[in-house]
Amino acid sequence: MNHPKPENNQRHGSAGISLVWVIAGGVVIVVGGFLISLFTPSILPRAGSAQAVLIDDLFRVMLFIGGAIFILVEGLLLVSVIRFRARKGDRGDGPPIPGNTTLELVWTLVPAIIVAVLSIYSFVVWNQIEVHPPEALQVDVVGQRFAWTFNYDAATDELPPNVDMTRVPEELAATLNNGDPISFSHPQLHTWLNHPVTVSMSSQDVNHAFWIPGMRMKQDLLAGRVTTLSFTPIETGVFRIVCAELCGSGHGEMAGRVTEDGDLAGAWLIVHATEQEYLEQFYYPELEKILYPPEDPVLLGRQVIQNYPCAGCHTLSDLGWTGTTGPILDGVASRNARLAATGEGTMEAYLHDSIRHPGEYVVPGFNNLMLQFNPEPDQPNYMPDSDLNAIVAYLLTQTGS
Ligand code: HEC
Ligand SMILES: [Cu+2]
């Protein structure tokens, strides 16, 4: 038998690769990895929190290593394809190579070291961002289909200066006199610069995921469990909040959006420059709405309806809502055909029952997805009668076609 002899001099001359080429290749790999790590992060939103800076630094290191390996592998592939390609008429096999212990050691040890270094580095970063400082602003976040609600607690020593107790409703005055905190809810998360904020998250229904891309913060909300996140904003401004878990047909409504008129809709994080600005522009005005509710039930209803997650499912032009899971509420008070269908005597009673017992009559063309808002504080989706009556009074003004 005559085996064809490999032609060593022609194209299997790996010994012929000069040191110059190895050095040039090394430079291309290192510089290329560096450029990848330098420019890729520019597609991310600006880093808005102290934690985001740590995470981005880790990301850059990973991009550098990953980028260098990418160039090495693709480069070797390209060199092999060009330099060791089969020439015309060549039907021979390559030379048999029985193994190379040095090479095997290198390609085992180098990745092992890289993985070990990255694991330790990631663990250090994880430990730094998993701190929940006791002085942080505490905000409870409720996720539900299809809206975020932020609940703020106000202790008696955190009320606006010079509260006029004669204008505070009796029930609330009693709470305050007891020294109990009062709470209010809002569709946006407000905080201020260079101060940590801790959000405690719970879900009213399915799993959601709370994500603020600008803060590099993301955490799942798991049914029946409270999860927490802490971060310290280092940039003022407005940051989008997104639900990152496909939770149903109105999932997209759980992301902060800009309406056609340029208003902010849905969930946003607003970072004020100072605590004083936070108090004066957000906290005190919101508390004053609760402390001095408008006498007119329609105005009150228009105010309190915004504390509930209706916007995620309903469209209502007056308030800039764009949800599509439920019927459009523009003109809802003129839908008299509903009265005959449900046997309700008045539109007021119909609207009342639409909120307290939505499952009893499901509007044709829609699914039974409306939340049931309950009258007792220990029930899910609590809505006191006073709020319900005001909301119905407000909805009764939504007439038209
Ligand atoms: C999870 C989505 C969802 C949320 C949140 C929600 N709704 Fe609904 N709503 C629906 C759906 C779906 C229907 C139609 C099915 C039905 O009748 O139950 C509906 C029906 C209604 C109706 C009857 C409309 C008509 O045309 O007859 C009213 C009124 C209403 N909702 C008010 C509210 C109010 C007020 C809130 C907030 C306090 C709210 N909804 C929150 C999904 C929702
Ligand atoms: Cu969601």
For ligand 1, pick from 354, 366, 388, 395 the residue to mutate: most ligand atoms within 8 Å of CB. Answer: 354
Q: How far is the CA of 356 from the centre of ligand 1 (A)?
A: 10
CA-nearest residue, atom 8 of ligand 1: 370
Q: How far is the CA of 172 from the centre of ligand 2 (A)?
A: 33
CB contact at 8 A, 155 and 137? no
Question: Residue 7: what pLDDT?
Answer: 46
* Per-residue pLDDT tens over the stretch 243-283: 998 988 888 888 888 877 777 888 899 999 999 999 999 99
| Atom nearest to 332 CA in ligand 1 | 26
- Helical spans, DSSP H, in 178-283: 275-278
pLDDT of 13 higher than 50? no
| Atom nearest to 146 CA in ligand 1 | 1
CB contact at 8 A, 372 and 357? yes
Q: How confident is the model at residue 208 (pLDDT cuts 50, 70, 90)?
A: very high
Rounded to an integer, what distance in angstroms lies between the CA atom of residue 313 and that of residue 252?
11
Q: Which residue has the higher pLDDT, 401 or 360?
A: 360
pLDDT of 68 higher than 80? yes
Q: Which residues line ligand 1 (CB under 6 A)?
A: 145-146, 305, 308-310, 312-314, 325-327, 332, 335, 338, 351, 354-355, 358, 362-363, 366-371, 373, 391, 395
pLDDT of 200 higher than 90? yes
Q: For 174-181, what is the mean pLDDT? A: 82
Q: How far is the CA of 253 from the centre of ligand 2 (A)?
A: 8
Phi, psi of 281 (to 5 degrees): -90, -20
pLDDT of 116 higher than 80? yes
What angle, 0 to 180 degrees and rounded to 10, lies between the N-to-C axes of helices 19-39 and 50-83? 140
For ligand 1, pick from 370, 382, 391, 398 the residue to mutate: most ligand atoms within 8 Å of CB. Answer: 370
Contacts by 284-292 with C-beta closer than 8 Å and gap 24+? 284/160, 286/152, 286/184, 286/186, 287/154, 287/159, 287/160, 287/182, 287/184, 288/160, 289/184, 290/172, 290/182, 290/184, 291/159, 291/160, 291/163, 291/167, 291/168, 291/172, 292/164, 292/167, 292/168
Q: How confident is the model at residue 1 (pLDDT cuts 50, 70, 90)?
A: very low
Q: Which ligand is nearest to the CA of 211?
A: 2
pLDDT of 93 higher than 80? yes
The percent of residues above 90 in pLDDT, for the chain, comes to: 49
Give the predicted TM-score (pTM) of the model. 0.76
Q: Which ligand is nearest to the CA of 361?
A: 1
Question: Residue 348: what pLDDT?
Answer: 92
Q: How far is the CA of 147 from the centre of ligand 2 (A)?
A: 7
pLDDT of 213 higher than 70? yes
The residues spanned by each domain of the chain are: 20-82+101-129, 137-292, 302-395
| Atom nearest to 361 CA in ligand 1 | 17
Q: Is the dihedral of CA 257, 316, 150, 354 positive or negative?
A: negative
CA-nearest residue, atom 43 of ligand 1: 370
Q: Are strands 321-322 and 315-316 parallel, antiparallel or unpaired?
A: antiparallel
Question: Residue 6: what pLDDT?
Answer: 47
Q: Which of 372, 390, 391 is CA-nearest to residue 382? A: 372
CA-nearest residue, atom 7 of ligand 1: 370
pLDDT of 10 higher than 80? no
- Token pair for residue 52? 């985001």
* Per-residue pLDDT tens over the stretch 326-342: 999 999 999 888 888 88
Question: Residue 16: what pLDDT?
Answer: 59
Q: Which residue has the higher pLDDT, 262 or 124?
A: 124
Question: Residue 264: what pLDDT?
Answer: 83
Average pLDDT score over the chain = 87
Q: How confident is the model at residue 177 (pLDDT cuts 50, 70, 90)?
A: confident
Query: Which CATH number describes the domain made up of 137-292?
Result: 2.60.40.420
Rounded to an integer, what distance in angstroms lies between the CA atom of residue 233 and that of residue 136?
12
Q: For 179-195, what is the mean pLDDT? A: 88
Question: Residue 369: what pLDDT?
Answer: 87
CB contact at 8 A, 400 and 335? no
* Per-residue pLDDT tens over the stretch 15-54: 556 888 889 989 999 999 999 998 888 888 889 999 999 9
Q: Which residue has the higher pLDDT, 147 or 9?
A: 147
Q: Which ligand is nearest to the CA of 331?
A: 1
Q: How far is the CA of 327 from the centre of ligand 1 (A)?
A: 7
CA-nearest residue, atom 34 of ligand 1: 310
For ligand 1, pick from 363, 383, 388, 401 the residue to mutate: most ligand atoms within 8 Å of CB. Answer: 363
Burial class (CB in 10 A: 0-12, 13-18, 19+), 320: middle
Burial class (CB in 10 A: 0-12, 13-18, 19+), 272: buried
- Among 14-23, 92-101, 126-135, 233-242, the range scoring the smallest mean pLDDT is 14-23
Question: Residue 332: what pLDDT?
Answer: 93
- Token pair for residue 54? 């740590």
Question: Residue 12: what pLDDT?
Answer: 46
CA-nearest residue, atom 16 of ligand 1: 362
- Token pair for residue 352? 């009342």
Rounded to an integer, what distance in angstroms lies between the CA atom of residue 326 and that of residue 387?
21
Rounded to an integer, what distance in angstroms lies between the CA atom of residue 38 and that of residue 60?
7
10 Å Cβ neighbour count for 311?
21
Q: How far is the CA of 376 from the centre of ligand 2 (A)?
A: 25
